[in-house]
A and B are shown apart, each in its own frame.
Chain A
Amino acid sequence: MSGGWNTIESDAGVFTYLVDNLGVKNVQFEEMIALDADYLKQQSPVYGVIFLFKYPVGQKKTDQAVDGQYDFAASEDIFFANQTIQNACATQAILSVLLNRGDLDLGDQLREFKEFTQAFPAELRGETLSNSELIRGVHNSFARSNPFIDEGTRAATEDDDLYHFIAYTPINGILYEIDGLQPSPISHGRCKEEEFPEKIIPVLQRRIERYPATEIRFNLLAMVQDLRIKAAEIGDVETVAREDEKRKLWIWENELRRHNFVGFAHEVLKRAVASKLRDGKYDEWMDEAKQKARDRMDERKKVRGQKEDIASP
């Protein structure tokens, strides 16, 4: 567990309540299922986009901006922090949008953090972020409760691919890509606020095309204004009700994410075992589970077919 930062899920409900708990007002996240400028426009005002991707290990880190221009001067003016902790990257990407917007109500604590780090160079900003009790505390409160995922079990996962989050947002009339692993913000050209939904799409498209279509998995979350605000203004009661329902579901899911299920799982298993014993079906039940596991293994074996010759010791 890198310096006490746990991984969190890339999910609109997690991100929305994460910024809410940081004290930010009237901001929410919407998942973008497709690269669709029109859909994005409907969510306006759009503050930025968080792009998560999982890429195969072994991809070379690039030394130069593959797409766009490094803007070293901008690292001074805008909030840009070098990423020092892998697991913090979701929160870091979110902050890269939040702290670069002049039009958001950040809440006292986050505003103080912004002012405090303003004069720092990028490395120190990253360091300060990693050490912020507030930010780390809120971030970790959304981590999946799992008393077992310690180093040992994590090391055993087969595809320990890398996740990375980057942020895109228009700042001072320029569309910036903010990636804490890069030396500076990357400029993708001029972009007015209202042009952002339009201009971000080709940038994301080029980014995704850089990776083999079968290998990359990605997730896009747009940071937008609380959708209930605009709906309430125009008297769209339906949307308000729907968004309220959505929030309830998010809260429910977040509760379950945090929950340690070991006790519950044990209780359920005890009941299942007892009921199978009563019905005389215990052995049958275990055999079915074994069959499922066998099917899964066969499936995996098929996928890994050729690799196996090389990998087996």
Chain B
Amino acid sequence: MAAVAPVISIKAGKCTQNGTNIVSQAEPGLLYLYNNPDDDLLHFCWKPRGAVEPAVEDDLIIIPGDARIIKYTGCTTGRVMVLKFSSSSQRHFFWLQSKAESSDSGHWSARDDVWVHRINVALQGPQDDDEEMGDIGLGSEEVEEEGSASRRGGADGGRAPASQPQNQSDFLQNLISQIQLPGAAGGGGYQQQEPMISLHDLLPSTTTTSLLAGMTPGTVDDLISNLPQGIVPRNATLAQKKEVIRKVLHSPQFSQSLVSLSVALRDGGMRGISDSLGVRLDPGEEGAGSDSVTTFVEAIKREEEKKEDSNMDID
């Protein structure tokens, strides 16, 4: 997910302006707003659905009260809305990609109207208006994963029962509790929770020492080529190279990287990381969750098993 939790996230595509015509683009997208804790500003973003963070295509910083979303009535074949600013003549068109709630694809249902209203409330910036914020579960209604059946089935739009907390520390609290209590909706929480393994749990020195001892020169070179060249002596011998690897494996910098990598896998980076490393995931494995490190290692295991098989074929 983009930065903390989005305030609002809905499925919408972009439209381009062609003369006086507004042309919708078919690409599935996600329109979302979030408060960036770093600059304390509200961001209005659009990205292709399923894009891995931080591949945001549009990122507009919103000054509270400056922007609003208006339903565009000039279109009868789809639900188009326009983002307008009072400080500029800039306009951005988007079309709702959630299935219309009636057979008329241009019909705005009450649900759609609520969404537009939600966005406008958020665009106004934080307010102490409890009534406004407290009435319906603001927010998480439409955070969907790409490819979920609901996109076609029209089952989307279910609202999260809990209301979205408004300030950043509540967001954080919420995020943390979600991470720590995956699937614990039925209560019980902590006791049944599977612990999250970190990659450094898998590489204690007992493991790395025996690994290093049995390494072939080819493997040593593979590993060395993944390290900064500045730390490898020129024309290093095999023993020197092994010593470099040993020191790196025991360095706090490497341990920290393993922790960050584990956190990234858990927090939704699974797909991006696996893709970039060429680790093939099975369908349904890319979701975030506490067991994502295990899933990742299992995927590596499958590759290694395959390699083992093909080696045998060659022999």
Are the CB atoms of B253 and A256 closer together than 8 Å?
A: yes
| B228 interfacial contact with A, CB 8 Å | yes
A246 within 8 A of B: no
Complex Cα distance, B161 from A96, in Å, reads 51
Task: Tell me if B301 and A273 are in contact (CB < 8 A).
Answer: yes
* B248–A290 CB distance below 8 A: no
Task: With a 10 A CB-CB cut-off, give which of A257, A293, A301 has the most chain B CB atoms.
Answer: A293
In the complex, the answer to whether A155 meets B3 with C-beta atoms within 8 Å is yes
Residues in B whose Cβ lies below 8 Å from that of A119 = none
Classify the secondary structure of A's interface with B. Answer: helix
Scoring B residues 231 to 262 as 1 if CB is less than 8 Å from chain A, else 0, what string do you get? 10000000000000000110101101110110
Query: How many Å lie between the Cα of A311 and that of B257 in the bound state?
Result: 29
Shortest distance in angstroms between B245's beta carbon and chain A's nearest beta carbon? Answer: 9
* Interface of B: prevailing SS: helix
Contact B300 A156 (CB under 8 A): no
* Interface assignment of A271: CB less than 8 Å from any CB of chain B: yes
Contacts of A282 in B (CB 8 A): 301
Chain A residue nearest to B223 in the complex (CB)? A267
Contact A257 B277, beta carbon cutoff 8 Å: no
Interfacial chain B residues near A296, Cβ < 8 Å: 195
B277: chain A residues within 8 A (beta carbon): 262-263, 266
Q: Considering the complex, which residues of chain A in the window 235-285 have a beta carbon less than 8 Å from any beta carbon of chain B?
A: 251-253, 255-259, 261-275, 277, 282, 285
How long is the Cα–Cα vector from A160 to B263 in the complex, in angstroms?
15
**CA separation between A282 and B219, bound complex, in Å?**
20
Q: Is B285 an interface residue (CB 8 A)?
A: no
A289 an interface residue at 8 Å Cβ cutoff? yes
How near does chain B come to A193, taking the closest CB pair, in angstroms?
36
Choose the segment among A30-38, A128-136, A143-151, A170-178 that binds chain B (4+ C-beta atoms closer than 8 Å).
A143-151
Q: Collect the chain A residues with CB atoms within 8 Å of residue B202's CB.
A: 269, 272, 285-286, 289
Q: Quote the shortest CB–CB distance from A256 to chain B (angstroms).
A: 4
Residue A308 at the chain B interface, CB threshold 8 Å? yes
- Tell me if B273 is interfacial: C-beta within 8 Å of chain A: yes
CA distance A97 to B254 in the complex (A): 32
A205 within 8 A of B: no
Alpha-carbon gap, A155 to B267, bound state (A): 10
User: Given the complex of chains A and B, what is the CA–CA distance between A277 and B211 in angstroms?
Assistant: 12
Residues B228 and A311 in contact, CB atoms below 8 Å apart: no
Q: Are B301 and A262 in contact (CB under 8 A)?
A: no
**A262 contact from B175, B230, B273, Cβ within 8 A:** B273
Is A111 in contact with chain B by the CB < 8 A criterion? no
Identity of the chain B residue whose Cβ is nearest the Cβ of A259 in the assembled complex = B228
In the complex, number of A-B residue pairs with CB atoms less than 8 Å apart: 169
* Per-position binary interface string of chain B over residues 212-229, scored 1 when its CB falls under 8 Å from any chain A CB and 0 otherwise: 001100010011001110
**Size band of the interface chain B makes with A:** 35 or more
Given the complex, which residues of B lie within 8 Å of A274, measured CB to CB?
304, 307-308
Chain A proximity of B125: nearest CB distance (Å): 19
Q: Which residues of chain A in 285-313 are interfacial with respect to chain B, using CB atoms and an 8 Å cutoff?
A: 285-286, 288-290, 292-294, 296-297, 301, 308, 311-313
Interface residues on A, range: 35 or more
A196 to B34, CA, bound (A): 48
Judged by a CB distance under 8 angstroms, whether A59 is at the interface is no
A264-B223 in contact (CB<8A): yes
A152 proximal to B (CB < 8 A): yes
Contact B198 A269 (CB under 8 A): no
Tell me the B176-194 residues at the A interface (CB within 8 Å): 176-177, 179, 181, 189-190, 193-194
Contact partners of A288 in chain B: CB under 8 A: 201
- Asked if B294 contacts A255 (CB within 8 A), the reply is no
Q: What are the residues of chain B within 8 A of A311 when measuring CB–CB?
A: 173, 177
Q: Collect the chain A residues with CB atoms within 8 Å of residue B199's CB.
A: 265, 269
B254 touches A256 (CB 8 A): yes
- A232–chain B nearest beta-carbon distance, Å: 26
> Which listed residue (B53, B176, B256, B276) contacts A156, Cβ 8 A?
B176
The answer, yes or no, to whether B72 is at the interface (CB within 8 Å) is: no
B residues less than 8 Å from A258 (CB atoms): 228
Q: How far is the CA of A262 from the CA of B260 in the complex (A)?
A: 10
Q: Which of B194, B202, B210, B307 has the most CB of A within 10 A?
A: B202
Interface assignment of A103: CB less than 8 Å from any CB of chain B: no
Q: At the interface, yes or no: A77 with Cβ under 8 Å from chain B?
A: no
Q: Are A273 and B297 in contact (CB under 8 A)?
A: yes
Which chain B residues border A285 with CB–CB below 8 Å?
A: 202, 207
State which of B23-31, B36-44, B86-94 sits at the interface with chain A.
B36-44
Residues of A within 8 A of B210 (CB): 275
A257 to B251, CA, bound (A): 10
Q: How far is the CA of A274 from the CA of B2 in the complex (A)?
A: 35
Determine whether A66 belongs to the interface, using a CB cutoff of 8 Å to chain B. Answer: no
B196 at the interface (CB under 8 A from A): yes
Question: Is B106 among interface residues, defined by CB-CB distance under 8 A?
Answer: no
Cβ-defined contact, B36 with A261, below 8 A: no
From the candidates B171, B251, B253, B263, name the one contacting A144 in the complex (CB within 8 A).
Answer: B253
Task: Give CA–CA (A251, B174) in the complex, Å.
Answer: 41
Tell me if B54 and A150 are in contact (CB < 8 A).
yes
- The smallest C-beta distance from B80 to any residue of chain A, in angstroms, reads 30
Supposing A152-B3, A292-B197 touch, asked if A252 and B263 sit within 8 A by C-beta, the answer is: no
Residues on the A chain within 8 Å of B208, using CB: 268, 272
Q: CA–CA, A152 to B253, complex, Å? A: 21
Question: What would be 12 A-B contacts, judged by CB atoms less than 8 Å apart?
Answer: A253-B251, A253-B253, A256-B228, A264-B223, A268-B249, A274-B308, A277-B305, A277-B308, A289-B202, A290-B201, A293-B197, A313-B174
